[in-house]
Structure 1
Amino acid sequence: MTSSDYILGLVRKALDRFDEEPLEVSVRRAVRIANLAGDTKYAVRLALDLRPIGGDRETNGETSRMLMADPSTWGQGMGPAEKAHHAWVNDRKHGDEELLTSHSLAELEFWIKEIDALKKEGKALGYNHDLTMRERATRLLARTRHITFALLCSWERRFGYTSINDSIFGGYRTKVDELLAEGAPELLQQFNAVYRRLQEAAETAPAQIATEELSQAITTCRRILKAVVDHVLPPQEQPSAAGHNLDDAHHRNRLFEFTKQAVESRSANKLTEAMVAGLYDRFVAVDTMTNKGVHAALAFETSNLCALNTYIVCGEILSLHHLRN
């Protein structure tokens, strides 16, 4: 996914130059932004304003699918592409017979200029006909201009907020990555392996189920969780004071023992207690998710959620370990 700061920069550039450049340029920029943001409906809707009359129907459909965040929804009747086309058709209808003006923005502007040229040469088509064509073309151009400007404004607000959140989470990620690099550098490579698997699954053809890629990503998450516990409290032959096994197979017991020691240590403070609160329960929930994930074709969204939670929980464990030392 493209960073919010990058998209925000494109949006502000488009807005700053909106009144200085041809409408077609602004619309192309808006299509690009919608595509990066995953706003399929508006990417396809505005692209229809750029497409000239005619062309191969199959190629036109393929071009629209290129702009879809999820091409598998193509042809489902009520998908974002169909909604975009329906909105575009309604905007382009005119007259009692609901005729369709299907010219692109460039073609509409061409005809306005052509009418002006004919008029200068004394070859005007007639006042009523001339006025009708001008009015229709101007109305369509104005409508597209309004939609494009409104979308750019909404994206500026949306990615302005998102950019702030990105900076917050970016700082957290930097901190966790530093802790990983110091204490368990091999885990950074494992996290990268998870992200690569998820990316491969995202790029898989819609008709296929990326079961293998997702399963491998989830398996790696489970290994990472155990490796983090191995780092903060290695396997021990002797059980805990409460009689819990602390060997290699019982990594959950070792995490529980680690958090217990953190609270009971002399260095414990309110921050430590807050970090420990609920940490074990979250770890168990994510660890359980990874175990189930290996035996099922997880949805891509669920796999992403699992990877994200693995990273956050591991970051909390490493931060707690850092505070103790």
Structure 2
Amino acid sequence: MRIANLVGETKYAVRLSLDLKTIGGDRETNGEISCMLMEDPSTWGSMTGPAEQALKAWMNDRKVEDSDNIDGHSLAQLEFWDHEPEKIKESGERVDYEADLGRRVRTAQILARTRHLTFALLCSWECRLDYSTINESIFGGYRIKVDALLADGVPGLLQQFSAVYRRLQEAADSAPERDVTEELSQAITTCRRILKAVVDHVFPARDEPSGDGLVLDDSKHRNRLSVFIKETVSSDSNRALISAIVAGLYERFTAIDKMTNKAVHAEVAIEIANLCALNTYIVCGEIISLHALASEQESEPTPTLETAAT
């Protein structure tokens, strides 16, 4: 139930809580407890919300055969009554196991269903969390590389990046319909500056043009990045792949620029900014990785005739 609550699975958090809750109690308090387990408490009381779906599933599982009754005992109560005949027998009293057989069978079925549901849910969440961990590890690796470079070279960018995104997130949380065109524009500008800072690191500006005639001064960081990829990546297929990823990021920048000519709501803007930041970090992380690999290869000693013979 705790894991269901942590991963936002309201239906199963409430469903499992019904197995733990004993019969009775204050109705208002019971409702408050259920709301505590809900990702969106505002859906409490709706006929089709996750809490109502959980209650319906629980009642279907607890139906007593050949009747309209429901076995509403908690798991603790069911286990208590399941063990009670043995305690009565130990005291010397006679126990009519045959008369009690139907209840014991029903109890075993309820406990087995609950164990099976719990096991299936845990397996599902384990797969989900494992997948999430892998994704976080992959992106986290890129983020660490980029943040380390920026913190060392342009620490102000990181502060600006955080400030802009805080404002966007606060607007999305408090006033999702508010126009945040200016904040979105600032966020995308910051992403551009992050990319430029990384390009400045791996391929500083030059006065002379490239062999293809491309201008490589400070303002032409896209040209510099193109030449860097061409000089660093020897495989034509890998070079084409990386160039396509980079081009996609620049196209995203351009598309968002056009969007900021109109009003953009906060809830939409935060999604756009998040995706843009994610793509920026991935591209920058790959650029830094390519630069590090090229630096390692350059630092390796060139074999001489003597070392080759050895």
TM-score by length of structure 1 reads 0.67
Equivalent in the alignment of 2:193: 227
Pair 1:212–1:182, CA change in 2 (3 A): farther
Q: Which residue of 1 aligns with 2:225?
A: 262
- 1:91-147: CA deviations, max 9, x gaps? 011122231111111121222233433344455674444222222222211211111
Residue 188 of structure 1 aligns to which amino acid in structure 2? L
Residue 88 of structure 1, CA deviation? 0.9
Aligned: 1:46 with 2:16: yes
Contact 1:211 / 1:298 at 8 angstroms: preserved in 2?
yes
Aligned to 2:138: 168
| Contact 1:44–1:84 (CA under 8 A) maintained in structure 2 | yes
Alpha-carbon distance between aligned partners in 1 of 2:127 and 2:195, rounded to the nearest angstrom = 41
- Matching residue's letter, 2:246: L
After superposition, the Cα gap between the structure-2 partners of 1:144 and 1:264, relative to the gap in structure 1 and judged at 3 Å, is: closer
Bigger mean CA deviation after superposition, 305-314 or 102-111: 305-314
2:279 corresponds to 1:307:
no
- Looking at structure 2, the residues matched to 128 and 142 of structure 1 have their Cα atoms a distance apart, in angstroms, of 21
More off after superposition, 225-234 vs 150-159: 225-234
Give the residue type in structure 2 aligned to 1:297. H
C-alpha contact (below 8 Å) 2:82/2:107 kept by paired residues: yes
**Contact conserved, 1:115 with 1:124, CA < 8 A, in 2?**
no
Query: Structure 1 36/169 Cα, relative in aligned 2: closer, same or farther at 3 Å?
Result: same
Shift of 1:75: 3.6
1:305–1:74: structure 2 CA closer, same or farther, 3 Å change rule? farther
Quote the Cα distance in structure 1 between the aligned partners of 2:227 and 2:90: 91
Q: After TM superposition, list the pairs within 5 Å mapping 1:281-300 onto structure 2.
A: 281-286=248-253, 288-289=255-256, 292=259, 295-299=263-267
Q: Which residue pairs with 1:5 in the alignment?
A: none
For structure 1, the residue ranges without an aligned partner over 5 or more in a row are 1-30, 235-241, 248-253
Contact 1:194 / 1:307 at 8 angstroms: preserved in 2? no
**Contact 1:39-1:69 within 8 A present in 2 as well:** yes
8 Å CA contact 1:272–1:320 kept in 2: the answer is no
Query: Partner of 2:207 in structure 1?
Result: none
- Mapping 1:25-44, distance limit 5 Å: 31-44=1-14
1:186 to 144, 156, 167: 156
Aligned residues with identical type, % of pairs: 43
Shift of 1:176: 1.7
Q: Secondary structure at the match of 2:22?
A: coil
Mean Cα deviation higher: 85-94 or 185-194: 185-194
Contact persistence 1:198–1:213 (CA under 8 A): no
Q: Which residue of 2 aligns with 1:251?
A: none
Aligned CA distance change for structure 1 residues 282 and 89 (closer, same or farther; 3 Å):
same
1:131-280 correspondence to structure 2 within 5 Å: 131-193=101-163, 196-197=166-167, 200=170, 204=173, 209-211=175-177, 218=184, 220-228=186-194, 231=197, 257-264=220-227, 267=231, 269-270=233-234, 274-280=241-247
> Is contact 1:176-1:318 (8 Å) kept?
yes
Give the CA RMSD over aligned residues. 3.9
2:50 maps to which residue? 80
Question: 1:197–1:213: 8 Å Cα contact kept in structure 2?
Answer: no
Q: Does 1:111 align with 2:77?
A: no
Number of residue pairs aligned between Structure 1 and Structure 2: 273
Larger radius of gyration, structure 1 or 2?
2
Structure 2's unaligned 5+ residue stretches are: 205-212, 296-310
- Structure 2 counterpart of 1:151, one-letter code: L
TM-score of the superposition, structure 2-length normalised?
0.70
Would the aligned equivalents of 2:171 and 2:266 in 1 still touch at CA under 8 Å? no
Secondary structure of the 1:111 match is helix
